[in-house]
Structure 1
Amino acid sequence: MSVSQVDLPPGYPREWEADVVLTDGGVARLRPIRPSDAQKLVAFYERVSPESKYLRFFAPYPRLSSRDVKRFTEVDYVDRVAFILTVGDEMIGVGRFDRTEDDRAEVAFLVEDAHQGRGIAQLLLEHLAEAARERGITGFVAEVLPENRRMAQVFADAGYRVSKGIEDGVLSVEFPILPTDTSVGVMERREHRAESASVHRLLHPERVVVHGPGRRVAGLVNAMLCGGFRGEVVAVSSDGVPVPGVPTATSVAMVPGRLDLAVLAVPTTELGGVVIDAAHKGAHGIVVLTGTDDRPGDNRTVVNLARAYGIRALGPDALGLINTWPLVELNATPGPMPRTGGVGLFCQSAAVGVALLNHAVRQDLGLSSFISTGDYADVTGNDVMQYWEDDDNTRVCLLALDSIGNPRKFSRITRRLTRRKPVVVLEPGRTSRSWHAGVRGGLGHAPDEAVDALFRQAGVMVVHRRGAMFDIAKIAARQPLPRGQRVRLVTNSATLAAQMEHTIGAVGLLHEESVLLRSSASPQDYVDATLAALADPRTNSVVCAAVNVYEEGTEDVITALDQIAGEGDKPLVGVFLDFHPPMVKENDVDLPGELPRFDAPVDAIHALSTLTAYAHWRERDPGAVPLLEVDTSRAKRVVNRALSGHPEGRLLNGAETTELLQAYGITMVPRFVVSSLEEAVAVAEQLGWNVVLKGTAASVRSRPDQAGVQRNLMSAEEMVHAWAQLEDLTRALGLGGDVGSVATPVVQAMAPPGVALVVTSREDAAFGPIISLGLEGIPTELLGDTVYRVPPLTTVDAAAMVRDLRAAPTLFGRHGSPGVHIAGIEDLLHRVAQLADDLPQLASVELSPCIASRDGMAVLGARIFTAPTDDRRDPLARTL
């Protein structure tokens, strides 16, 4: 179904093509119209009802003339633009705009009646608006019959400021299409609902077909039946081996009636035809369990084919999916069915999925859903998180990620989801990341430490061990979140208490006085002591640790504590040390109030510490993004001028740097490049002396002893001496030539004494801008004392950046010295964050040194590198 570049009309914008999710969870292909779509358009129009045609053209219009077809399909993609939506080979909707003025265009839509109510017009409007903005159009107009209430509502619900009027019985609508907080919020909410519905349909099928070799199909069918699937299963044996217990068919095409889900274990060469057959049977999704010999191109072919026919795809190389909800009980994997519970579990590759699913079953942890999508899947962790946010059965969200396809969207979703539900991610900082749309080069990757920090900023609990992820889930799914750091131990071992108290302190928690029971304490002793500890207002969490290496072990204690584990509003955790195999719960449902059980004290305490930090993050005020007075248009003009004629990007010169920073309220202390001693003296006299002479060439300015910086120069004699020292330094470094050319010296007024900081922004290839703060020199360069955040930067984020530095005491005053102006540092962080967020073309911004003094901030140096890249890191119009 692909079209070669040769077959495309002149000017065809292939970058506007996209797969999209409709409001009911279905998938469609959106792309600009082409002259070759003439027959599609005619067939589409014939399926449209006379009423819909009347509402579109304001008169009976039974068929399109050849002139109409030519006008509608032949556009210039500049002043006349049209998008179509297709499923398979059929067009189901079309939208267009025609420029009427330099910055205005008329917009119109037509949607096939059978597909109305699926959000198609809203999607077309979003993509038309984004294309129009790229073409310099800032507003849309439309004419609608008053009885066409559905179309009028499309404009009203878009989040734009709509003005209306009626003339000659026609409703005239006009609205600006520049994005606003309201319109962006509307699009994100629609995106959320559509993607959530899409995953919901995958997890709630009524009829499932399993297709592949007979023995493998039999195993998959048996897993479904043993799991208690409430729907109907149909088997297709590709090799003729019988599959007992369920209806069978010779092919997917021969399955009677409609299908919802196809689970496929067929060779790559057969996948195309089977996917099309499943689409014709009405399937919402496919699960491809077989791999494609690690050839990404083959994998993408499968995914693209499924999307083209309106199907969501898991795989190739997926392990499958599980929904334990009692009204579904679907196990579409080769693995065991876990307990029903409140933990959602997502991973990508089948190999990781096997390890995770086995671990969950061995830990007796109840899952709400399990989804393993494969390495090159259509369904992503972003889609699944959208579903989990709406799913009342999911209380805790676990993700083990091999890659993050759209990290900015991932960050946006997690910031919202973590405010409602705990989210644990296994090693996000070590995952591979995709490049955001439009990048043409010049961008790098953030260090792993930065990526971990970015997810913590969004409230994600980051772990680097699979066991740690499940430890957190055990507590979070069964117990309330801790409301503070104070932990009380109840145990029958003084030695164990001492070790656990040490661990509690080491992870940042506070231990209250432990309750020591006799070594032969009865279950009732534990219950009484535990209830007393939970009732103590000084206690936020209780850990019960029981040791019994003889007789019946700790089973009676576990049973007794389990009875009271759901009675309070504080978390209760059990640690049980004996030689007996762990008890298996008879209850198939893992409900809130069940006792989390551990056999390693350190695991329990680490998990409790992580949850305590998360609970504190969730309860604190997230802060607000300050409204700064900035001149974005001026800044963009600077960048556009700089990039003009430099397709690979370049370093801004001094004047450009100063103007760009001034547009965002950042004023640099004036500095003057000098090429001779005489020029240095003249500049210093102009500044009134008390100046600094410093070499800014990389080989000079990077010295840890700062030998290239001569401060507090008050006279010509001192300048002569400073110039001579700079000459000596360049000779010692083996730099040939005169100082003016090899050291790039500058003269600058002295800043007030203070602490030298480095504030940077790096445009990461996947995450967008990453802001960092550190002390200039060795603390940042060699010791790694750097903190990171991503925009938008709230007041709480900026304050935390300053305080999270290991060297923060230097800023707040120590040994009797006064602290620096903290508000000035935070203001500078906000301005750099907004500058970087507004201008993706700023590949790197480095402000160094920035002197923080008692009275404010002084920015003494800046290096800004630009790289040509698209304005859209996370496109506004919805796409997969």
Structure 2
Amino acid sequence: MYSYSCLKALFEPQSIAVIGVSAENRDPGSMIVANLLASGYKGKIFPVNGEGEEVHGISGFSSVKNLPRSTDLAIICLPAAEVTPVVELLADIPVRAVVVTSEGFGEIGRDGYRLEQELFRTAKQNDMIILGPNCMGLMNTALDMNASLNPEFTSPGNIAFFSQSGAICSTALDWANCEGVGFSKFISLGNKAVLGEGTMLSYLADDEDTKVIVGYCETLKDGQDFLRTAYDTTFKKPLILLRAGETPAGARAASAHAGALTGATSAYNAAFRQTGVMQATDIADMFNLAHAFSCQPLPQGSNVAIVTNAGGPGILAADMCEKGTLSIVRPSSPSIERMKTFLPAYASLYNPVDMLADATAETYRQTLQVVAEDESFHSILVILCPAANILGEVERVAADIIALEKECDKPIVTCFMGSHSVEKARNMLRGAGIPCYAFPEVAVRSLDAMTRCYRWQHKDWPIEVCFRRDYSKAKSIVDNCKITGLSELVELDAQNLASAYELPVPETVLARTSSQAAKAAKRIGYPVALKVASPQIERKEELGLVVTGIQGPQELRKAFMEITSRAARRCKDAYITGCLVQAMGPKDAHEIAIHFRRDPQFGPLISFSLAGLHEDTLGDVSSRLAPLALNDAQEMIREIKAYPILRGVRFGHAVNLGALEDILLMVSQMASDLPEIQEAEFNPVLAGPDGAVVANMRMTVR
């Protein structure tokens, strides 16, 4: 993590050097100087060019070496090959913060990537921070500072915005200026050679001018750093992120655009869920959520009051509430009695409060006053359709909502449907800091996100669990695997590693002959399971190479011969060492699949599902990133759609969920301890009312 003094030099510089300026107005350096002057920046500006020419009336410097030692920030607008030597000169002054707008780095391929790595090493060696390269720069409205290539300076606001894409930056500025929304900080990240999202969050989380943080990302520079800083940030402020590159085609495009690896979509989703990040679905959703969070308080509960003059939109809103985390509850009895005094007898009073098409501005005012005072509700959604009876009073309704909002401590979100007939009223509401949308689904989405944010910020702290394990034994097993040149741990080796982490495994014996199998089964105790022993055969059950519930020695010998001969016929290239004799799992057990895979961005990603059809075909899988807390394990189990099966609904017995939680936590510990294990599969885990055991496992060693 970079020092606060470096970040202060970047965001709050008292002097800025712009390197690579010419007298040509369309030159990037010249544009930045012009933008600084136009925004009203009151600090010192030092243009640098080879001739030391005056730029926009400001005296220039002929060399970086001549810059004052008091220079806080340098903005470099030079060809890519010239950037690193200039950064080395800046380090001698010393300048602590640099912005590189130049293109031609990681985004163009191998040669540019080498230049980017040189830039990173130079910054690290000199304790400097660098924004970019291939970025537009940044803005700070508190300083009237537009240190960017975009001539449109934003108005002051409480939204901090950062983006990896320059085009999204331009779009965000255009949207904000159109909607009358302002920003506190506006940051173009570019290629993120040095500074990434984590560093931005560490600064913005404590920025007094920022109420909500919004960002667009394609890749994350340091997944683990992001997890730590995002988790700390979301307890202080809402964090809304739009992530691109979720599909294979999008991931390829994102990698080419950013010149960096992308992680799995499931890993990103898990990271956002575990750190309290509000994930936007698209650009419009990102902006809508940003506006709502920036101007309304968070609801202190999930109960929402819907006030409407049309039944259809009210029903759509109620549907959206139930699909999300919001609750539709009845008004209190006193509220219902009050509304009966001024609403028609055929109006619906039980939420949605449908005042019907003959509602007037006065009807809206009285109804909203009642629901605002009703302690049953935590938030209010106002829907207005341009019915004939209300057309001449739409602006009056907006004015009454604005007046109510000043006295009400509950968030108010509005939906004025239609176009030109409600446009003026919409602008009135937005100008007063009240979100106004064209459709009820979008309005409900904003309220739902705000409610989830409140719950996150007021949830109990996670319970960290650390299980006993024999780390030295586990490490020696993995190291021995690497020494012998094996890429996988299977069967007994994998079972020994699992035992080092006290994972519950059934007693297992390798038998090379049917006689050995009979002796092992007698010692273990019938019934037993028998499965072929071969590191090359994966889907043993599908190939008919597993027999369970064997009751006696005669049945065991017959099964041994059938399994080994079938394996020899169906898997001719596989090396078969015999059969594994294994104690049976719990009675009335369900088969569970637990995996972990090391994601390039975030580290171990752990998944949980019912084995077989639910996992392979239906995709009913929950995922979290290691290390898991107890609440993470509990949520993973309860999140899958097949969870009712584990509770014994309709058939079977309820599973011991505590035993499954323990296994997930043990697997998490193993994944965190042993980075050499690239991937691991625990399938099946046999879970029943009396406990759970890991019947089979397979691990890939890097």
Provide TM-score, normalisation by structure 2: 0.84
Among residues 215, 235, 239, which one is paired with 2:25 in the alignment? 215
Corresponding position: 1:856 with 2:694: no
Q: Tell me how far 1:305 sits from its aligned partner.
A: 3.9
Q: Is the 8 A contact 1:489 1:543 kept in 2?
A: yes
Q: Quick one: distance in 1 between partners of 2:397 and 2:211?
A: 27
Give, in whole Å, the separation in 2 of the partners of 1:393 and 1:350: 23
Stretch moving more, 410-419 or 522-531:
522-531
State whether structure 2 residue 307 is matched by structure 1 residue 471: no
Distance 1:721 1:521 in 2: 82
Deviates more, 1:404-413 or 1:484-493: 484-493
SS at match of 1:652: strand
Q: 1:781 to 1:200 in 2, by over 3 A?
A: same
Q: Residue 475 of structure 2 is aligned with which of 636, 646, 653?
A: 636
Deviates further, 573-582 or 199-208: 573-582
Aligned to 2:307: 490
Show the 5 A alignment for 1:259-298.
Answer: 259-272=71-84, 274-276=86-88, 278-279=90-91, 282-292=94-104, 294=108, 295-298=112-115
String of CA shifts for 1:135-169, please: whole Å, max 9, x gaps: xxxxxxxxxxxxxxxxxxxxxxxxxxxxxxxxxxx
* Cα separation, partners in 2 of 1:242 and 1:763, compared to 1, 3 Å: same
1:571 to 411, 415, 430: 411
Listed as ranges, the gaps of 5+ residues in structure 2 are 253-260, 330-350
What are the within-5 Å matches in structure 2 for residues 327-726 of structure 1?
327-427=143-243, 430=246, 447-512=264-329, 513-517=351-355, 519=357, 521-548=359-386, 554-580=394-420, 581=423, 594-646=433-485, 650-652=487-489, 654-695=491-532, 697=534, 702=539, 707-723=544-560, 725-726=562-563
Q: Secondary structure at the match of 2:377?
A: coil
Matching of residues 762-777 of structure 1 within 5 Å: 762-777=597-612
* 1:566 CA displacement: 4.6
Contact 2:219 2:263 in 1 (8 A): no
Q: Is the 8 A contact 2:512 2:577 kept in 1?
A: no
The answer to whether the 8 Å contact 1:474/1:596 transfers is: yes
SS at match of 2:16: strand
Residue 407 of structure 2 aligns to a residue whose secondary structure is: coil
- Tell whether 2:63 aligns with 1:229: no
How many Å apart are 1:304 and its aligned residue?
3.9
Partner of 2:658: 823
Structure 1 residue 798, shift from structure 2 partner: 1.2
Contact (CA 8 Å) 1:231, 1:328: kept in 2 or not?
no
- For the residues of structure 2 that align with 1:759 and 1:767, how far apart are their CA atoms? 18
Q: Which amino acid aligns with 2:666?
A: R
Aligned 8 A contact 2:87 2:122 in 1: yes
- Code of the aligned partner of 2:599: D
Letter in 2 for 1:726: I
The Cα of 1:533 is off from its aligned counterpart by 1.9
Mapped to 1, the partners of 2:535 and 2:644 lie a distance apart of 30
The equivalent of 1:3 in structure 2 is none
Aligned mates of 1:601, 1:405 — CA distance in 2: 37
Whether contact under 8 Å (1:482, 1:615) holds in the other structure is: yes
Say yes or no: does 1:751 pair with 2:559: no
Relative to structure 1, the CA distance from residue 813 to residue 533 in structure 2 (aligned partners, 3 Å threshold; closer, same or farther) is same
Contact 2:511 2:580 in 1 (8 A): yes
Counterpart residue type for residue 379 of structure 2: S
The 1:272–1:818 alpha-carbon spacing in structure 2 relative to 1, beyond 3 Å, is closer
Task: State how far apart, in whole Å, the 1-side matches of 2:80 and 2:554 are.
Answer: 81
Superposed CA offset, 1:9-54 (max 9, x none) = xxxxxxxxxxxxxxxxxxxxxxxxxxxxxxxxxxxxxxxxxxxxxx
Rounded to whole Å, the distance in 1 between the matches of 2:251 and 2:196 is 14
1:390 is paired with a residue whose SS is coil
Residue deviations 1:304-363 (CA, integer Å, cap 9, x gap)? 4455555422222111101112x5544434242223222111122323322333333333
Would you say the 8 A contact 1:319–1:349 is kept in 2?
Answer: no
Q: Normalized against structure 1, the TM-score is what?
A: 0.68
Alpha-carbon spacing, 1:743–1:540, altered in 2? closer, same or farther (3 Å): farther
With over 3 angstroms needed to count, the CA separation of the structure-2 counterparts of 1:449 and 1:270, relative to structure 1, is: closer
The structure-2 alpha-carbon separation of the partners of 1:268 and 1:454, relative to structure 1 and needing over 3 Å to count, comes to closer
Contact 1:701/1:708 (<8 A) preserved: no
Q: Among the aligned pairs, what percent are the same residue?
A: 25
Please state whether the residue corresponding to 1:850 is helix, strand or coil.
strand
For residues 258 and 774 of structure 1, do their structure 2 counterparts lie closer, same or farther at Cα, with a shift above 3 Å needed?
same
1:840 alignment counterpart: 675
CA distance in 2, matches of 1:809, 1:572: 37
SS across alignment from 2:205: helix
Q: Cα 1:756–1:520, aligned 2, differ >3 Å: closer, same or farther? A: same
CA distance in 2, matches of 1:559, 1:331: 38
* Gap change, CA 1:553 and 1:399, over 3 Å in 2: farther
> What is the identity, as a one-letter code, of the residue corresponding to 1:221?
V
The verdict on how the C-alpha distance between 1:805 and 1:491 changes in structure 2, with shifts beyond 3 A counting, is same
* Counterpart residue identity of residue 680, structure 1: A
- Would you say the 8 A contact 2:53–2:61 is kept in 1? no
Distance 1:369 1:527, change over 3 A: farther
Contact 1:554 / 1:578 at 8 angstroms: preserved in 2?
no
Q: Does 1:312 align with 2:129?
A: yes
Q: CA deviation at 1:401?
A: 1.4
> How far did residue 276 of structure 1 move?
4.9
CA distance in 1, matches of 2:306, 2:18: 52
Letter paired with 1:661 = A
- Structure 1: stretches of 5+ with no match in the other structure: 1-190, 434-443, 868-880
Q: What secondary structure sits across from 1:338 in the alignment? A: coil
Q: Distance in 1 between matches of 2:439 and 2:324?
A: 15
Offset at residue 683 of structure 1 (A) = 2.6
Give the letter for the 2:571 counterpart: L
Q: Deviations over 1:743-800 (max 9, x none)?
A: 9532212222211112222233332222222112121122222211122221111111
The SS at the match of 2:680 is strand
Q: Return closer, same or farther for 1:727/1:283 CA change in 2, 3 Å cut-off.
A: closer
Instruction: Give the AA of the match of 1:635.
Output: A
After TM superposition, the structure 1 stretch with the greater mean CA deviation from structure 2, 255-264 or 615-624, is 255-264
Displacement after TM superposition at 1:825 (Å): 0.7
450 and 278 in structure 1: CA distance in 2 versus 1, 3 angstrom threshold: closer
* Correspondences of 1:105-124 after superposition (within 5 Å): none
2:51/2:62 contact within 8 Å kept: no
Aligned to 1:205: 13
Q: Confirm or deny that 1:301 pairs with 2:139.
A: no
Q: Of residues 760, 775, 791 in structure 1, which corresponds to 2:595?
A: 760
User: 1:388/1:696 Cα in 2 relative to 1: closer, same or farther (>3 Å)?
Assistant: farther
TM-superposed CA distance for 1:543, in Å, is 1.1
Paired AA for residue 641 in structure 1: N
Q: Is the 8 A contact 1:693 1:722 kept in 2?
A: yes
Report the Cα offset of residue 385 of structure 1: 0.7
Q: 1:197 to 1:516 in 2, by over 3 A?
A: farther
Aligned residue pairs total 656
| Most deviating of 840-849 and 380-389 | 840-849
CA distance in 1, matches of 2:55, 2:395: 43
Quickly say closer, same or farther: Cα 1:312–1:756, change in 2 above 3 A. same
Measure, in 1, the Cα distance between the counterparts of 2:688 and 2:439.
49
SS of alignment partner, residue 792 of structure 1: coil
Q: Secondary structure at the match of 1:608?
A: helix
Partner of 1:735: 571
